[in-house]
A and B are shown apart, each in its own frame.
Chain A
Amino acid sequence: MSHRAESRPPALRLAALFLVFAIGFAAVAARLFVLQLRDAPSYMALGRDQRVRHIVLPATRGSIYDRDGNDLAISLPAKGVYANPELVPNASETASAIAPILDVSSAELWQKLQHDGSFVYLARRVAPEVAEQIDRLRLPGIGLLDESRRQYPSGGLASHVVGFVGLDGVGLAGLELQYERILAGRAGELVVEKDPAGHLIPQGESRNVRAVPGADLVLTIDRDLQYRAARALARAVKKNKARGGSVIVMDPATGEILAMTTYPSFDANLATEAPADALRNRAITDVYEPGSVNKVITASVALEKGIVDPREIFRVPDHRRVGPKVFHDAHPHRPMRMTLADIVAFSSNVGAIQVAQRVGKDRLNAYLKRFGFGRRTGIGFPGEGEGILPPTDEWWETGIGTIPIGQGIAVTPLQIAAVYATIANGGMWVRPRLVRGVIDGEGTFQPAPPPDRRRVVSASTARTITSMLSYAVEAGTGAEAQIPGYWVAGKTGTARKPLEDARGYSDQYVASFVGFAPASAPRLVVAAILDEPETVYGSIAAAPLFQEVTRFALTQQHVPSAHPLPPPPSAQRP
């Protein structure tokens, strides 16, 4: 030890030591100040964030029922399984543990666990009992989220009407989309304090904003009738080797759609796997040229305006030139004596054109509009077609030949069903509807407001047209639509399809039969439409389909038979 060091004065050393301690304490005090005063609020917030959990309480989506309360769409509690890959210690082991429970390959799960981030879904909408098995494994980095699972118990039944939801439970098509706001409800939030083990901290922060469940939707659809209509349509499509088709069953007095089915169909539980072409509700979204079923409008305006007397006899040849085009009846014939009823019943194109030329294009166009052509019915369905009804100044020279017989214009099957419902209703158009009402959160049924109505033709005109349509089924082209025990009114339609990428018509047809029963006291309007049947004609392809659906519907709805209508004046009846 050096003499110099031994001789250092103790006071100086003490002072140095004091200085070191003083600086040390000052640093601690400064840090204390920073932690306890300056940054205290942010640290308190950090601590609070670790204890307080905000749990989203998903709102239960409302159910969709048929008119009798049968489930068409229901939501069940489910869980989403997620992973934080950064917290998963061994992706391979974790994947192998979960894969058999989720019934997926562990390679697939392993791939997901390689996700570059702190959140990845391993599975969505799994059943709670499955999620519970995963929860019991207590795997680090694996968690569960509350979700709900949409189920359509009848699969393909009314799937075009009901629609479907996406992975996030939001409506993507059909009424699920149209009534998203009503069905979805409002999510709630649960705020609680939990300890590191996940237990609730008694007397900790707690706040519960309850979720508001979505309202239930009650449709006008009758499940059993819907099933029978769908089955009959599928059979008719196969039998007639058609490309597709639609059937609508409607209550003319209320506008309620009792059945609406389209072929091809799809299972709403597997909607994402269905071809896009099968997802459209063609009865509402697609338009087609109606053909001879449109003659009912031509005849209506002629009667309504007093232009044609029902007893008047026309001399009808089998062809007629309109501008540059010659129109023909379906089959060659000598000039025939026909009343308006005969023209309708035997579906004479030439006769209908003769009548329309007297009516004039302005009046004809006005009544096509009054019957609802060229605008949406307002049924409340996404993507509803409005049809094509050109203004009279855009009609071709041949327009007064094509439009009275239902070519050169386009309508949806729903629009044409509404036309026949107007006649069945004594001349009153009633807005079709698919929803009877909603059941609110209190469980109270709130009926939909009464449908809009407007008079299109007089009751007298409607009655006369009905007798002509009844005659068409009794003795005309609609014989295949006869139902033993009932008098049926209706009309066949066989319309050529326009070319898709050029002017003119293809060799393909749309066959239809639209009508109602019982003729004198209509309870049901049925539209049966087949797209491109090999059997071509409405009388052969569509009328039997109409007959099958209507016969079942009359029995199922307990509709009594009614007396026949007096026959209309005819020059053809023996």
Chain B
Amino acid sequence: MVAATVVGLVSAQALVAQESFRIADLSAEADRLEASYGRLRLEVAELSAPDRIVDAARKAGLVLPEEVEMLRLFAVGRGPQPSAAATDSVLALKGVLGGER
């Protein structure tokens, strides 16, 4: 009876010690993963930074348009009515968008 109790206590102690080491290992692993997550997050942020995107685009041969043409769309009854030229622009835009007839 005494021997069984002693064996039981020793076994329990060994199990507790084993779990303790496992917890320490998991904690270290969690630290490693956290560091890795931080590194990856920083990498994503740096890669998506506007100056890097612009540099990459430039290297790829992309350029900003010299002029941006604004197409003005007027709603009926609000503001000046569209001129013939403006109407053409609206129709052209509709054609591009493949929208309403």
Q: Which residues of A contact B (CB under 8 A)?
A: 70-71, 74-77, 127-129, 151, 153-155, 157, 199-200, 202-203, 223-224, 227, 483-486, 551, 555, 560-564
Total A-B contacts with CB atoms under 8 angstroms apart: 81
* Chain A minimum-CB-distance residue to B75: A563
* Given A153-B45, A224-B50, A483-B70: 15 more A-B contacts, CB < 8 Å: A71-B41, A74-B38, A153-B49, A154-B45, A155-B49, A200-B24, A202-B16, A203-B16, A223-B50, A227-B51, A484-B67, A484-B70, A551-B68, A560-B73, A563-B74
Q: B83: shortest Cβ distance to chain A, in Å?
A: 14
Q: Which residues of B contact A (CB under 8 A)?
A: 13, 16-17, 19-21, 23-24, 31-32, 34-35, 38-39, 41-42, 45-46, 48-51, 54, 67-74, 78-80
Q: B26: shortest Cβ distance to chain A, in Å?
A: 12
A-B contact pairs, 26 of them (CB 8 A): A74-B45, A76-B41, A77-B35, A127-B35, A128-B35, A151-B42, A154-B46, A154-B50, A154-B51, A155-B49, A199-B24, A200-B21, A200-B23, A202-B16, A202-B17, A202-B19, A223-B50, A484-B67, A484-B68, A485-B70, A485-B71, A551-B68, A562-B79, A563-B74, A563-B80, A564-B79
Q: Of B13, B69, B80, which is within 8 A of A564 by CB?
A: B80
Inter-chain CA distance A74–B37, complex, in Å, is 12
Contacts of B49 in A (CB 8 A): 153-155, 157
Inter-chain CA distance A103–B20, complex, in Å, is 36
Is A555 touching B72 in the complex (CB atoms < 8 A)? no
Q: A128-B35, A202-B13, A563-B79 are in contact. Are A76 and B50 (CB under 8 A)?
A: no
Q: B81: shortest Cβ distance to chain A, in Å?
A: 11
Q: B53: shortest Cβ distance to chain A, in Å?
A: 9
* Chain B minimum-CB-distance residue to A79: B35
Is A74 touching B41 in the complex (CB atoms < 8 A)? yes
Inter-chain CA distance A486–B79, complex, in Å, is 13
Is B31 touching A77 in the complex (CB atoms < 8 A)? yes
Contacts of B80 in A (CB 8 A): 563-564
Q: Of B17, B38, B45, which is within 8 A of A70 by CB?
A: B45
Inter-chain CA distance A128–B32, complex, in Å, is 8
Q: B94: shortest Cβ distance to chain A, in Å?
A: 16
Is A484 touching B50 in the complex (CB atoms < 8 A)? no
Contacts of B20 in A (CB 8 A): 199-200, 202
Q: B4: shortest Cβ distance to chain A, in Å?
A: 21
Is B42 touching A561 in the complex (CB atoms < 8 A)? no
Q: Of A76, A484, A555, which is within 8 A of B39 by CB?
A: A76
Is A486 touching B70 in the complex (CB atoms < 8 A)? yes
Inter-chain CA distance A564–B74, complex, in Å, is 12
Q: A128-B31, A128-B32 are in contact. Are A484 and B69 (CB under 8 A)?
A: yes
Inter-chain CA distance A134–B46, complex, in Å, is 27
Q: A406: shortest Cβ distance to chain B, in Å?
A: 32
Q: A74-B45, A153-B45 are in contact. Are A563 and B78 (CB under 8 A)?
A: yes
Contacts of A227 in B (CB 8 A): 50-51, 54
Contacts of B39 in A (CB 8 A): 76, 127
10 smallest beta-carbon distances between A and B, as pairs = A485-B70, A563-B79, A153-B45, A76-B38, A227-B50, A71-B45, A128-B35, A154-B49, A202-B20, A202-B16
Q: Of A70, A151, A200, which is within 8 A of B48 by CB?
A: A70
* Chain A minimum-CB-distance residue to B15: A202
Contacts of B41 in A (CB 8 A): 71, 74, 76
Q: A330: shortest Cβ distance to chain B, in Å?
A: 31
